[in-house]
């Protein structure tokens, strides 16, 4: 007997859970895709880095139907949702790879990309690992292409502002949970009980545990490190009190 699951329902559930922590999530995606269109055009070849369920890929294809995307991740459960969601769409491919593996680039189907995009994922890496990754990404981006990373980039020079923002966000999250939103832990517990996702979720916890233990360097660190990696122009193109979207142009 074949057990099936509703992949789109899991996508929607993941989005709701993420939006509890990132209420401006769609805004960062919008700006990211605005810049893709402005810099590399409406039919880009994209690498969706640490793709998770394919959130960026989904919005990319809605915005640019002529685009193609390679999603790369290590999480078995999130990749199961991604592969189920995009099954049969020949514009999309997914690769299982560990971004800490020095040979991960060799698993990709293409040698270069117009755009490499990632959001709220690379803080799972420590800064030295992320610097190595940035060095690996620069040769993957074609001349005139872009890399964009939207992630937590708090400013250590403003601790009182940071604390006020943190308290505000946590209070908003508490209200969302009181209204029925699932927390990170609750979402993963639900996935662990799903007949299709139970085994991938178990393997996911064997890889990561509850959560990886990376860090969150500030915006200036990202700009400096991407310049050192070989990008020609680097700056933020969007900012919230706690997060930024840094764009690096090859």
Q: In the chain, what are the domain boundaries?
A: 7-249
User: Domain 7-249 is of which CATH architecture?
Assistant: 3-Layer(aba) Sandwich (3.40)
CA distance 117 to 177: 29
The tens digit of pLDDT for each residue in 117-165 reads 999 999 999 999 999 999 999 999 999 999 999 999 999 999 999 999 9
Residue 214 has what pLDDT? 87
Question: Do the Cβ atoms of 57 and 92 come closer than 8 Å?
Answer: yes
Mean pLDDT across the chain? 95
SS3 letters across 87-101: CCCCCEEEEECCCCC
Does the pLDDT at position 1 exceed 70?
A: no
């Amino acid at each position: 007997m074949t057990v099936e699951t509703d992949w789109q329902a899991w996508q929607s559930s993941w989005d709701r859970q993420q939006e509890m922590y990132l209420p401006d999530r769609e805004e960062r995606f919008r700006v990211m895709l605005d810049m893709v269109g402005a810099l590399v055009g409406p039919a880009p070849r994209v690498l969706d880095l640490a793709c998770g369920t394919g959130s960026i890929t989904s919005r990319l294809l809605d915005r640019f139907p002529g685009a193609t995307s390679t999603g790369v991740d290590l999480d078995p459960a999130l990749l199961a949702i991604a592969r189920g969601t995009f099954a049969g769409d020949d514009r999309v491919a997914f690769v299982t790879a560990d971004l800490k593996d020095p040979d991960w680039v060799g698993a990709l189907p293409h040698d270069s990309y117009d755009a490499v995009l990632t959001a709220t994922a690379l803080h799972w890496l420590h800064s030295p690992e992320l610097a190595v990754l940035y060095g690996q990404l620069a040769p993957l981006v074609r001349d005139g292409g872009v890399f964009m990373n939207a992630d937590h980039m708090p400013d250590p020079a403003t601790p009182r502002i940071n604390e006020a923002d943190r308290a505000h966000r946590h209070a908003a999250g508490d209200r969302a949970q009181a209204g029925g939103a699932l927390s990170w832990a609750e979402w993963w517990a639900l996935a662990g009980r799903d007949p299709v996702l139970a085994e991938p979720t178990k393997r996911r916890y064997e890889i990561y545990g509850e959560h990886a233990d990376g860090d969150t360097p500030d915006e200036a660190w990202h700009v400096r490190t991407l310049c050192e990696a070989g990008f020609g122009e680097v700056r933020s193109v969007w900012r919230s009190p706690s997060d930024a979207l840094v764009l690096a142009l090859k």
